[in-house]
Amino acid sequence: MISNKTKYGLKALAFLSKQEKGILVPISTIAESENISQKFLESILLSLRKAGFLGSKKGKGGGYYLLKDAKDIKVASIFRILEGPIAMVPCVSLNFYEKCSDCPDENKCSVHRLMIQIRDNTLAILENSTLADFVI
């Protein structure tokens, strides 16, 4: 299960990608349209801006906008910012690797192998789909 944070983030990005280029969308508009708590969405968009996905403009008439083309934003990278690891166990994560304390030898661990299989498959989808692909 992914967190609401990730789900909301994806929805917000999808919303922004549907706008015409150059349009600034205030948080309130997205929050109302997608039924998300405005304050919560605020912190999510902040993360996405700091991660380099979004630009923003303050003050009256301000708002958020996509910095890159939707087709150049991989879903996998959004996931890593908002959710963290994509793998199901830390010991098979490429970007957030951590050793399992209970496992003396990963190569002899049955679970390890299974999890690598799942990770590779999920990654194949997430690395190959962009914001442009999944937006309706």
Partner DNA sequence: TTAAATCCTACTAGTCCGATAGGGTAATAG
Partner DNA sequence: CTATTACCCTATCGGACTAGTAGGATTTAA
Summarize as ranges the residues that interact with its own copies (CB under 8 A).
1-2, 7-8, 10-11, 14, 34-36, 75, 84-85, 87-90, 100-104, 108-111, 113-114, 117-118, 121-122, 124-126, 129, 134-136
Residues 6+ apart with CB under 8 A from 56: 45, 49, 62, 63, 64, 65
93 interacts with DNA by CB under 7 A: no
| Min CB(59)–its own copies separation in Å | 29
Instruction: Give the type of residue at 45.
Output: L
Residue selected from 15, 19, 34, 46 as contacting DNA according to rule CB under 7 A: 46
Helix and strand tally (H, E) in the chain? 6, 2
